[in-house]
Amino acid sequence: MTYRPLALAAAFLLPALPAAAQGQLNLYCSATLEWCQPIARGFERESGIRVNLTQKSTGEMLAQIRSEARNPRGDVWWGGTGDPHVAAGEENLTQPHESARITELHDWAQAQWRQTQGRTVGVYASVLGFGFNTELIARRNLPAPRCWADLLNPAYRGEIQMANPNSSGTAYIIIATLVQMMGEEPAFDYLKQLHGSINAYPRSGTAPITAVARGETALSLSFVHNAAEEAAAGFPVGHAVPCEGTGYEIGSMSIIRGARNLPAAQQFYHWALSAPAQIIASQEAKKLQTMANRGVPLTDGAPNMATARIIDYDNARFGASAERRRLLGRWDREVGALPR
């Protein structure tokens, strides 16, 4: 705990000193603002570097980074689903980096770093599962779902929501997970059967769980932490991690190619992987994701990646745009085009 007094001193000195003395960092953050702000402030305290924070959803951020490719404005891109980070790596929008803290991370985080040749590293993980409205299913005498197979129960007909995979990364991860768990043909058979129970494919990934929270639909396929957050906000939302096993997304971090403040970016990268930086998620931002650093204890109510049956998600294959396009095309033809 030796850094504390130093950080405090820095925090007091900060306004008095010209910003240029410590340099600055343009942080592109794709997590929620509740999380981005403490991260930015934490790094400012730690390093004395002024952080300019821009917060946008992952897809929007990728669009922005892509359009800024010839004249990059951001230095580090922190947070948000891994796939766009991987896509950015494929397009050479980000640059590889190695931190000494790589070894402190969980295997899934290290795996992503290796698979992307060091361009992207996992900082947290979100587990895929079900969310359900406890009041609504009680009123209709529906059982709470436990497994993927339960969802095919005719009683759930017209009660399930899943995002449209064409627009939502979450929904694409669902398809990729099922393909990895069941094999491609059975997975698509499953999705075709599920189609009859689905009442809508909204465009946004978080729309289904919002609908569950407000009693607009009984069940959704969502990230477990989203369901837990709705429950924490006071809504009657329960969640489950499927018994057959499930997939996850990796919240990632990349250094943007051509970063104007490269040393600061590398310093941030190193810091963001540390346990003190990652503990901010549960302590300040009340987040339920699993953090990448092994030294961070699990938040109460968060799904345990160790005990849940988590599949070995193949980021390299399913993150690639060609495979994505193929699977989405197939989904469009065989599932999306079916009558309901």
Partner 1 sequence: MFFGTSFFFWLIAALGTLVLPWHMQQDGLTLAGLFALGRGEAEAASALSQAAQFGRFWFWPVIAGLLLALPGALPSGDRARRARFLVWGGGLGLAALMLQGLAVGIQGWNWPVLARMFGELEDRQFGIGLGGAMAFAGFLILLTDGLALRGYFKGDRFVSGAVGLLVASILVFTAWPVGTVLSEMFTPRADLTLGAAMAERLFDSKIWGLGCVTGRVNCGVFWNTLLLATCTATAATILGLCFALIVTRSGFRAKKLLRLLTVLPIITPPFVIGLGLILIFGRSGVFNQIAESVFGLELGRWIYGFNGVMLAQVFSFTPIAFLVLIGVVEGVSPAMEEASQTLRASQMRTFRAVTLPLMLPGLANAWLVVFVESLADFGNPIVLGGSFGVLSTEIFFAVVGAQQDFGRAAVLAAIMLVVALTAFVIQRSVVGKRSYVSMTGKGDVGLPTRLPPPVRRVAFAVAIPWAILTVVVYVMALAGAFVRVWGRDWTPTFSHFERAFALEWSPAGALIFSGGAWHSLFTTIQLAAIAAPITAGLGLLASWVLTRQRFAGRTALEFALMLTFAVPGTVIGVAYILTYNLPPLEITGTAVILVACFVFRNLPVGVRSGVAAMSQLDKSLDEAAVTLRASTFRTLRTVVLPLLKPAIVTALVYSFVRAMTTVSAVIFLVSAEYEMATVFIINRVINGDYGLAIAYCAVLIVLMMAAIGLINLLVGRRNLGRRAAALPTPAPVGGRA
Residue ranges in 248-307 that form contacts with partner 1 under rule CB under 8 A: none
Looking at the Cβ atoms of 193 and 304, the one nearer to partner 1 is 193
Residue 92 as a binder of partner 1 (CB under 8 A): the answer is no
From candidates 206, 290, 299, 315, binder to partner 1 by CB under 8 A:
206
C-beta separation of 245 from 311 below 8 A: yes
- Distance in Å, CB of 195 to partner 1, minimum: 11
Q: From CA 283, how far away is CA 278, in angstroms rounded?
A: 9
Looking at the Cβ atoms of 66 and 309, the one nearer to partner 1 is 66
Size of interface with partner 1, in residues (CB under 8 A): 61
- Distance in Å, CB of 229 to partner 1, minimum: 7
Per-residue binding string, partner 1, 299-328, x by CB under 8 A, is: ----------------------xx-xx--x
Looking at the Cβ atoms of 22 and 110, the one nearer to partner 1 is 22
Nearest Cα residue to 119 out of 91, 138, 81: 91
From candidates 15, 70, 306, 307, binder to partner 1 by CB under 8 A:
70
Residue ranges in 225-244 that form contacts with partner 1 under rule CB under 8 A: 229-230, 233-235
- Distance in Å, CB of 160 to partner 1, minimum: 12
Residues 6+ apart with CB under 8 A from 110: 102, 103, 122
Looking at the Cβ atoms of 286 and 309, the one nearer to partner 1 is 286
Residue 204 as a binder of partner 1 (CB under 8 A): the answer is yes
Q: From CA 162, how far away is CA 95, in angstroms rounded?
A: 34
Nearest Cα residue to 148 out of 236, 221, 63, 244: 244
Residue 57 as a binder of partner 1 (CB under 8 A): the answer is yes
Q: Which residues pair with 35 in a beta bridge?
A: none
From candidates 80, 131, 145, 165, binder to partner 1 by CB under 8 A:
165
Q: Which residues pair with 10 in a beta bridge?
A: none
- Distance in Å, CB of 187 to partner 1, minimum: 17
CA 268-95-93 angle, to 5 degrees, is 110
From candidates 5, 103, 306, 340, binder to partner 1 by CB under 8 A:
340
Q: Which two tokens stand for residue 103?
A: 């070894």
Stretch of 4-12, 182-190, 194-202, 287-295 lying at the interface with partner 1 (CB under 8 A) = 194-202
Residue 87 as a binder of partner 1 (CB under 8 A): the answer is yes
Which residue pairs from 96-104 have beta carbons closer than 8 angstroms and sit at least 24 positions apart in sequence? 97/255, 97/266, 97/269, 99/266, 99/269, 99/270, 99/273, 100/270, 101/270, 101/273, 101/274, 101/293, 102/273, 104/273, 104/274, 104/275, 104/293, 104/294, 104/295
The distance of Cα 161 from the centroid of its chain, to the nearest Å, equals 19
Q: From CA 291, how far away is CA 296, in angstroms rounded?
A: 7
Residue 62 as a binder of partner 1 (CB under 8 A): the answer is yes
Residue 338 as a binder of partner 1 (CB under 8 A): the answer is yes
Q: From CA 130, how far away is CA 294, in angstroms rounded?
A: 26
Looking at the Cβ atoms of 68 and 284, the one nearer to partner 1 is 68
